[in-house]
Amino acid sequence: MTDVIVDTTELQRRTIRKTDWVACNAAFIDCRTPGSDQKENYAFIGAGVSQNANQYVNLTENHGFNTGAAGMPNGISNNLHLHFTAEVFINLGGEFRLRWGVDGKQGEYVSTDGDIVSIPTWIFRGFTNEGPDDGLLFTVLGRDNTGGIIWGPSVLKEAESYGLHLTADNRLIDTVAGDVVPDDVPLITPMKQKYIDDLTTYTPEQMRSRVIRPSDRAYSKNALLCASLPGGAAELSLAIGYGMTEDRRQVPNIHEPHSFNLAWVRAARDEGMLRHRHDRTQAILVKTGRWAVTLNGDMDTTVELGPADSLSIPQGAWRAFRCIDTGDAEAGELLVINGGDDRVYLEWAPEVVSAARDADWMIDPNGYLAPVGVMITATEDD
């Protein structure tokens, strides 16, 4: 793998702190609809599905996925809409009632702090903040080009009464603000009933299988080569996809392809993941605690991150994660997002490989942890 060196300027550019968030209050066609007119939309990596050309994006380069967030005061809703690519919510605090179906009556689920919810593609979904005003849903969307969204028929009709239209190339036209309806691009019209009738239905029980509550997490203490080494005792819980686990028996809660994989990493103070790299795009999000991320194996390129801060790490760059403060908990938590649907094979730094070997651990030909004492007796004929 070619060495990728990240200088301090690039590290700063790829760091997205909570204080760097820039809200757009007119990202979607329902921005004037009563009960939906106080939404705040954020785009961190990629433009996501915003329909406003003025949406601020913290980091524009392609990652194979998009990240963002939705913030809404209590009682405010995001109206029913349909996505073509994966949409995953990570609840960063608050209580949100998720509903689905073209009329929102197919089922409901109330999400609370720490949930991961993967909403199926090609179904209508919406949500309402029923908790504190500062409730927040972090979002991960599949692929670089999401294809935009389709709004429920009633949403489009109500928006039109407020002078808002949506073009086929995903532009929001605001006639009240002086926009002119274009002649060369058709306006989006409601989905025909015959297509709505063909959409997949989901029962509450089926949707529950796509929810990963904190109590559903299954952490492995032996998911990483560095786990037995001082400073490397991070635990890994797979959420979506097999990702970067090196525990041959670890299985994710959700297997379905999303174009990215998600996993929780937790560690006690002064523990984490020792120096490693891989060839996938990666973004990390701090859920709890404070973390130091060191790139290049050089302490001069270290950034400290707190809750809701995130960082994009280039493919091929050496990185190490260390929890430096757990707050009131026993461990800090990171959400790790890697691009791609298949496994992520880690390359560990030479000093990690050597120390792990001394501790009787190595990686087998299938990319999983194995005892050195077993592997040195193996032959190709075995």
Same domain, 119 and 192: yes
Report residue 244: phi and psi, to 5°: -110, 20
Q: Is the dihedral of CA 201, 203, 206, 210 positive or negative?
A: positive
Same domain, 309 and 198: no
Q: How many domains does the chain have?
A: 2
Average pLDDT over residues 277-285: 98
Residue 110: pLDDT over 50: yes
Residue 297 lies in a domain: yes
CB 225 within 8 A of CB 30: no
Residue 11 lies in a domain: no
What CATH number is attached to the domain comprising 57? 2.60.120.10
Query: Which of 145-154, 261-270, 278-287 has the weakest average pLDDT?
Result: 145-154
pTM for this prediction = 0.94
Average pLDDT over residues 351-367: 98
Residue 13 lies in a domain: no
162, 193, 212 - which closes a domain: 212
Residue 7 lies in a domain: no
Residue 4 lies in a domain: no
- Tens digits of per-residue pLDDT, 321-336? 999 999 999 999 999 9
Residue 10 lies in a domain: no
Same domain, 59 and 40: yes
Same domain, 235 and 200: no
Contacts of 171 (CB under 8 A, 6+ apart): 51, 53, 185
Report residue 195: phi and psi, to 5°: -80, -35
Same domain, 47 and 152: yes
* pLDDT value of position 379: 59
Residue 284 lies in a domain: yes
Which helix (H) or strand (E) element contains residue 110?
strand 107-111
SS3 195: helix
Amino acid letter for position 181: V
For residue 267, give the nearest of 349, 327, 337, 351 by alpha carbon.
Answer: 327
Range of the domain at 112: 19-212
For residue 220, give the nearest of 242, 235, 204, 202 by alpha carbon.
Answer: 235
Same domain, 26 and 96: yes
Same domain, 141 and 123: yes
Residue 381: pLDDT over 60: no
Residue 121 lies in a domain: yes
Task: Dig out the tokens for 42 from the structure.
Answer: 């954020």
CB 159 within 8 A of CB 129: no
Whole-number average pLDDT of the chain: 94
Which helix (H) or strand (E) element contains residue 205?
helix 204-208
Same domain, 100 and 202: yes
- Tens digits of per-residue pLDDT, 40-57? 999 999 989 887 888 999
| 32 bridge partner residues | none
Same domain, 302 and 182: no
155, 178, 212 - which closes a domain: 212
Same domain, 191 and 275: no
Same domain, 40 and 62: yes
